[in-house]
Structure 1
Amino acid sequence: MAGRMVVGSAALAGLVRPASESDAAGAHRMLPVLPELSGLLPNRGLRRGSTVAVTAGQPAGNGGTSLVLALLAEASRSGSWCAVVGVPTFGAVAAADLGIALDRLALVPHPGPEWATVVAALIDGVDVVVTTVPKAVTTSVVTRLAARARQRGSVLVPYGEWDGADVTLRVVRGNWEGLGQGRGRLRRREVTISARGRGAAARPKEIRVWLPGDRSARTGARGATPPESAPSVSRRTSLTLVSP
């Protein structure tokens, strides 16, 4: 199971053209997100032309990648094209479990030195473009890509520090659940996500969610069914809101 792997400029151009031509939702200025995340964003969705940065905080690996997947899920499920650039360890199975349509997902795991060119080309024809942020990226490149997203109506989602984003979502902390006294499996993770931005997003917000979540457990309630014994209702998972 994998998304559409993109290698070389010819393949990239071939992807961008059909993505642009088949965008039935192009007239809509807001792409949907999962209900649990909607309260973090102005107008409760991903506004076309905006830049929404995701940062994982410390320690590394505390839920940032899962948050990126969750951010894409509803837009992808609704018909939008998505692209992920510079994430060679991207988990296609995890993406599919959250509802991301792999047949409308482009993967560029190793963009190389032409990173900015690749991202700019995808912005031209893909609804949501996720990209890791190179350490050496300059302010002028950041400004140029954000301006291109505004012009083309794409949502740019930098995964890493990005100055000037309209909204920055940060995983403040995260705790795994499922391990008992030295045994068991990691079942789910409670993460705290903060949002801060500009304009309508200037007021800081924070929520706690189970990530990826368990549909069968009662949310935010003491004495909820333990994840180990909860019945499985679906292979597809979602976020579960714990506290706004």
Structure 2
Amino acid sequence: MAGRMAAGSAALADLVRPASGTDPAGAHRLLPVLPELAGLLPNRGLRRGSTVAVGPGHPARGGSTSLMLALLAEASRAGSWCAVVGVPTLGAAAAADLGIELDRLALVPYPGPEWATVVAALIDGVDVVVTAVPGTVSASVVSRLAARARQRGSVLVPYGRWAGADVTLQVVRGAWEGLEQGRGRLRRREVTISARGRGAAARPKEIRVWLPGDRSTRATKPTPSRRTSLTVVGK
């Protein structure tokens, strides 16, 4: 089964690479992100060949899955293919609500024990590859997948704890809006997202955004005494 899954992912990558139109000369090295999230990234976009992790947030805060999807939305609308591996609870309706083009989204909910092989195959042809991190991952696997993303010009988005990412996003606070006096409907969530990484991303950043967004982002500076990191929306 794992072999068939990897073969299927490789076949998908072969079909997607020409469809995405990736420039082998590297003329278009940045994939766009929502304006609300651009300030968290050192290049204000997803740099091809980079690893941008969405770290695990506190279960009570939530918001990690929404953050992960929001990170893909603008690139998807601009014509890039995206893949999400190992997130069986991800719903197409939620992805569409956050702006992802479903005809350019590949889902691999159950990659099997050879998940790293499946992810590597998708990196070969898909612009942005999200993968849930299955527990503890060896340093050799981390290095191998990051190197493959650099070589192929894809963006690797680990969804969970991942050592050595160029940038790690994490939801540190969140509050729902919509309920009034015990009734109403949960409509959107205000989340505080922090970012920390290496090189140009070493200086911590923090913003507050609405997910789903309404373009009313408010940027804030983290206090010196507080550790900040980036977390993706999740259950």
CA RMSD, Structure 1 to Structure 2 (Å): 1.4
- Determine the C-alpha separation between the residues in 2 that align with 1:104 and 1:129: 12
Residue in 2 that maps onto 1:223: none
1:19 aligns with 2:16: yes
Residue in 2 that maps onto 1:86: 86
- Determine the C-alpha separation between the residues in 1 that align with 2:169 and 2:99: 21
- Report the alpha carbon displacement of residue 29 of structure 1 after superposing the two structures with TM: 0.5
- Determine the C-alpha separation between the residues in 1 that align with 2:160 and 2:87: 12
Percent of residue pairs bearing the same amino acid type: 77
- The number of residues matched between the two structures is 214
- Report the alpha carbon displacement of residue 144 of structure 1 after superposing the two structures with TM: 0.8
Residue in 2 that maps onto 1:242: 218
Residue in 1 that maps onto 2:212: 212
- Give the counterpart letter for 1:83 in structure 2: A
1:193-204 → structure 2 map (5 Å cutoff): 193-204=193-204
- What SS is found at the alignment partner of 1:121? helix
1:128 aligns with 2:128: yes
- Report the alpha carbon displacement of residue 18 of structure 1 after superposing the two structures with TM: 1.4
- Give the counterpart letter for 2:9 in structure 1: L
Note if contact 1:25-1:79 (Cα within 8 Å) is conserved in structure 2: no
- Report the alpha carbon displacement of residue 59 of structure 1 after superposing the two structures with TM: 2.5
1:115 aligns with 2:91: no
Long gaps (5+) in structure 1: 1-6, 216-238
1:1-244 → structure 2 map (5 Å cutoff): 8-26=5-23, 27=26, 28-59=28-59, 62-213=62-213, 215=214, 240-244=216-220
Q: Give the ranges of 4+ consecutive aligned residues of structure 1 lying more than 6 Å apart after TM superposition.
A: none
- Determine the C-alpha separation between the residues in 1 that align with 2:7 and 2:119: 14
Cα deviation 1:117-148 (Å, max 9, x = unaligned): 00000011100000100113111111111111
Q: Which has the larger radius of gyration?
A: 1
Note if contact 1:56-1:63 (Cα within 8 Å) is conserved in structure 2: no
- Give the counterpart letter for 1:13 in structure 2: A
- What SS is found at the alignment partner of 2:43? helix
- What SS is found at the alignment partner of 2:10? helix
- Report the alpha carbon displacement of residue 13 of structure 1 after superposing the two structures with TM: 2.4
Long gaps (5+) in structure 2: 221-235
Structure 1 length as normaliser, TM-score? 0.84
- Determine the C-alpha separation between the residues in 1 that align with 2:6 and 2:94: 28
Residue in 1 that maps onto 2:229: none
- Determine the C-alpha separation between the residues in 2 that align with 1:139 and 1:13: 24
Relative CO higher for 1 or 2, CA cutoff 8 Å, sep ≥ 6?
A: 2
Residue in 1 that maps onto 2:233: none
